[in-house]
């Protein structure tokens, strides 16, 4: 796993051994960030960050503030190691080790981009989307990026799916209010 563009381009990232985390492939990550465009002055929330692959890419592409969250302390430990190895300044990010419900209760402010990539087959998408709407965490012009299995149906009353792209068994959905 590596950073594909920006300040930390080509730098390798550590990940957890085993199947507890599922890092986003470079091809998919590149397509996501090409879609998002310039991240300067933008805030980014990675709700199920694992070892930080997506959020670190946002930092590398000059996102103003990145918030990382995962409820796995081992993943958070590897995330911290990745950030330290890259020498990312601590004022550019915040880290939480919480359930998504607790995270949404505790974070303040709104985000330009929210990335959702929970463990597959856990049915967490709709509850996450509902809380994002209730807590008003997404800025009015913001976008939610959802990484799911192709078969996952994301119909919901809270957000509009603007675009979907398929990469093998992975589907990326771009949603807005």
For the chain, percent of residues with pLDDT exceeding 90? 81
The predicted pLDDT at position 7 comes to: 96
Please report the beta strands in 100-137, taking only residues with DSSP state E, as ranges in sequence order: 111-116
Backbone angles phi, psi at 31, to 5 degrees: -65, -40
Q: What is the Cα–Cα distance from 163 to 177, expressed in whole angstroms?
A: 13
The predicted pLDDT at position 50 comes to: 93
- The SS3 assignment for 136 reads coil
- Do 104 and 132 form a contact (C-beta atoms < 8 A)? yes
- Do 177 and 160 form a contact (C-beta atoms < 8 A)? yes
Summarize the confidence of residues 53-76 as an average pLDDT: 96
The predicted pLDDT at position 122 comes to: 77
- 90 pLDDT exceeds 70? yes
Question: What's the whole-number average pLDDT of the chain?
Answer: 92
Q: What is the Cα–Cα distance from 28 to 25, expressed in whole angstroms?
A: 5
More confident residue, 113 or 25: 113
pTM of the model: 0.94
Summarize the confidence of residues 87-105 as an average pLDDT: 97
Give which of 45, 92, 4, 54 is closest to 170, Cα–Cα: 54
The predicted pLDDT at position 20 comes to: 56
The predicted pLDDT at position 30 comes to: 94
Please report the beta strands in the chain, taking only residues with DSSP state E, as ranges in sequence order: 43-46, 65-69, 93-96, 111-116, 138-149, 160-167, 170-176
The predicted pLDDT at position 16 comes to: 86
Query: What angle, rounded to 10 degrees, do the helices at 53-60 and 26-36 form?
Result: 50
Please report the domains of the chain, with CATH numbers, ordered by start residue: 26-176 (3.40.50.150)
- Do 145 and 173 form a contact (C-beta atoms < 8 A)? yes
- The SS3 assignment for 128 reads helix
- 121 pLDDT exceeds 80? no
The predicted pLDDT at position 25 comes to: 82
């Amino acid at each position: 796993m590596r950073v594909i563009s920006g300040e930390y381009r080509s730098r390798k990232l550590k990940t957890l051994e085993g199947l507890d985390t599922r890092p986003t492939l470079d091809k998919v990550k590149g397509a996501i960030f090409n879609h998002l465009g310039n991240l300067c002055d933008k805030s980014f929330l990675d709700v199920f960050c694992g070892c930080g692959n997506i959020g670190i890419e946002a930092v590398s592409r000059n996102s103003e503030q990145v918030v990382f969250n995962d409820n796995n302390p081992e993943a958070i430990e590897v995330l911290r190691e990745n950030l330290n190895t890259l020498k990312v300044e601590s004022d550019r990010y915040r880290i939480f080790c919480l359930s998504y419900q607790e995270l949404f209760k505790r974070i303040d402010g709104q985000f330009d981009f929210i990335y959702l990539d929970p463990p597959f087959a856990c049915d967490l998408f709709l509850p996450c989307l509902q809380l994002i709407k209730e807590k008003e965490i997404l800025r009015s012009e913001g976008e939610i990026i959802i990484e799911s299995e192709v078969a996952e149906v994301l119909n919901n009353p809270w957000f509009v799916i603007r675009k979907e792209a398929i990469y093998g068994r992975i589907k990326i959905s771009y949603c807005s209010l």
